[in-house]
Amino acid sequence: MMTKGEKRQAVYDKYSGHCAYCGKQIEYKDMQVDHITPQRRYADKKIADRLENLNPSCRRCNHYKRTCDLEGFRELIMTLHNRIRKQYLNKVAEDYGIVEVKEWDGKFYFERGGEA
């Protein structure tokens, strides 16, 4: 059985120190451990805490994913460009070429085989 520290290190190592979702390089100390399927969906927390249900996550992805399952999180990100485009300040930034808002292809970093 793994200690808590060993399990945390194993989660970090899953994607070589990258966030499983956005692919950003993260320091071990800054990594958040995300439950791919949220804990609340399991009656037994020990099952929820299995290594195969844990992903390394940056703070932003973990915060934005909150209690979504993987498909719910994917939907949030897939529609993000539409919500951003509705914001007035972003419209100005797009007009001046300061930002470019693009659609996302729907694949998380861990689904790309480690390619950003």
- Give me the half-sphere count of Cα atoms (radius 13 Å) on the Cβ side of residue 61: 26
Q: Which domain holds residue 96?
A: 69-105
Q: Are 84 and 90 in contact (CB under 8 A)?
A: yes
Specify whether 27 is located in the same domain as 38: yes
- CA-based end-to-end distance of the chain: 33
The per-residue pLDDT for range 17-36, each reduced to its tens digit, is 999 999 999 999 999 999 99
Q: Which long-range contacts (CB under 8 A, 24 or more apart) does 81-90 make?
A: none
Residue 43 has pLDDT above 80, yes or no: no
Task: Name the residue among 90, 24, 115 with its Cα closest to residue 62.
Answer: 24
Same domain, 54 and 78: no
This prediction's pTM: 0.89
Same domain, 12 and 55: yes
pLDDT in tens, 57-75: 999 999 999 999 999 999 9
Q: Are residues 84 and 57 in the same domain?
A: no
Q: Name the domain count of the chain.
A: 2
Cα 68 to Cα 43, 46, 75: the distances in Å are 17, 19, 10
CATH of the domain at 24: 3.40.1800.10
Bridge partner list, 18? 25
**pLDDT of 115 higher than 70:** no
